[in-house]
Amino acid sequence: MPADRRTELPSCYAMVHEGLEDLAGAEIAQTLGGKIKRAGNGIVVFRLDDIDRSILQLRTTEDVFLYAWGTDELSYRAKDLESIERWTDRVRWDSLLKIHHAVTPKPKGKTTYHFVTQMSGVHGYRRVDAKKAMMRGLIGKLPGSWRYAEENASVEIWLTINGAMAVCGMRLSDKTMRHRSYKHEHLPASIRPTIAAVMVRLAELKPDQTVLDPMCGAGTLLAEAHLSTRGKKTTAGTDWPMRFLGGDLDPSHLRAAQANLRRFGITDLRTWDARELPLEDASMDRIVCNPPFGKQLETPEAIGPLYKQSVREMDRVLHPGGKAVLIVADAAALRSAIERVGWKEQRHVQLRMLGQRAFIGVYRKPSAGA
């Protein structure tokens, strides 16, 4: 692309779970060739050489946007409202709309639009005041024939305020980016698909591997593992041969996994107790798992013994040199279970998901003789 066109292109930004900014940035850089400008507060700002539908293929991001303006220097005082109006007014909204239409084709019928304002932190104004300030800045910027719609609008303009940070932009993704289209069956304890995608990236799957989720719930981790390898070719030009299997203690959870995973051809799903797996020693190359968090158990103090017994069993079935990626709320309980089996922690990530702290640990089982 000629340099002059590239400089005209706006930046983009992605919303991610707090703590996962660097990992999402790595996906953006690797799969889209994006240059990361800023990562923090659950926002990753980046530039692309071209903005097209490939941006919608990101798997670790909750939403992606065209960047209109942003700041790290809100004053928390009412004078921010004048700034929000002024910054919004200065944006070349017509250029953003052109790119938006190219990425997200205009639906038939009347075009509709919607404004979203999110605000966290204690500010000297209300969220609705910030929204009104943005709307004043937008006066005359959108075609007069367009109609405001509460739901399913074709164009959404978002303002996100988090402490002193604010970012405003036009949403390119729709709800299928964060919720996916395969998730027909949901469980209250299901992991967010974007977090599952991060865990799968951390597991670094290779061709011809067997991937296990011993407490698979509705099967999100296995779905993301499958999707991360789909379309990948071996040096001989064939699809990666992979095997995915999972199980759960609760037959109704297993039925949800079966319903979600059938379309991917993942059928090796069984009702089992992860503390006693009907699997051979050293038969798995990768384990991805989201065991229950303490608050999901009738007796939260049972979490320690459950983690110890299930990690011991994971160790038995994991091939020496194999990797396990686990997400828990209670990092100390997990680490105490891991210490007993002697896995090496390669990396850990702390994140917030829906207001709750969580911990992802990445472990390698030492190779035989190591």
Ligand X SMILES: C[S@@+](CC[C@H](N)C(=O)[O-])C[C@H]1O[C@@H](n2cnc3c(N)ncnc32)[C@H](O)[C@@H]1O
Residue 104 CB partners (closer than 8 Å, separation 6+): 154, 172, 174
Residue 248 is a binding residue for ligand X (CB under 6 A)? yes
- Which span (54-62, 73-81, 182-190, 262-270) binds ligand X, by CB under 6 A? 182-190
Q: Where are the alpha helices (DSSP H) in the chain?
A: 3-8, 21-32, 79-90, 93-103, 127-137, 175-179, 193-203, 220-229, 251-261, 303-317, 331-341
Instruction: Please choose, from the candidates 134, 183, 184, 185, the residue with its C-alpha nearest in 3D space to the C-alpha of residue 156.
Output: 134
d(CA 210, CA 227): 15
Report residue 169 as tokens: 């932009």
What radius of gyration, in Å, describes the C-alpha atoms of the chain?
23
Residue 189 is a binding residue for ligand X (CB under 6 A)? yes
Residue 273 is a binding residue for ligand X (CB under 6 A)? yes
Residue 70 is a binding residue for ligand X (CB under 6 A)? no
Site for ligand X in 292-351 (CB under 6 A): 292
Report in angstroms how near the CB of residue 219 gets to ligand X at its nearest.
6
Residue 250 is a binding residue for ligand X (CB under 6 A)? yes
Report in angstroms how near the CB of residue 217 gets to ligand X at its nearest.
3
Residues binding ligand X: number (CB under 6 A): 19
Q: Kindly write out the interface string for residues 214-243 of this chain, putting x where it contacts ligand X by CB under 6 A and - elsewhere.
A: -x-xx-xx----------------------
Out of 24, 245, 274, 325, point to the residue binding ligand X (CB under 6 A).
274
CB atoms within 10 A of CB 127: 14
Q: Which residue is nearest to ligand X (CB)?
A: 217
Query: Between residues 80 and 248, which has the closer beta carbon with respect to ligand X?
Result: 248
Report in angstroms how near the CB of residue 259 gets to ligand X at its nearest.
12
Instruction: Please choose, from the candidates 246, 293, 70, the residue with its C-alpha nearest in 3D space to the C-alpha of residue 169.
Output: 70
d(CA 18, CA 54): 24
CA atoms within 13 A on the CB side of 164: 4
Report in angstroms how near the CB of residue 154 gets to ligand X at its nearest.
31
Report in angstroms how near the CB of residue 6 gets to ligand X at its nearest.
40
Residue 190 is a binding residue for ligand X (CB under 6 A)? yes
Report in angstroms how near the CB of residue 289 gets to ligand X at its nearest.
8
Q: Are the beta carbons of 124 and 74 closer than 8 angstroms?
A: no
Residue ranges in contact with ligand X by CB under 6 A: 187, 189-191, 215, 217-218, 220-221, 248-250, 253, 273-275, 290-292
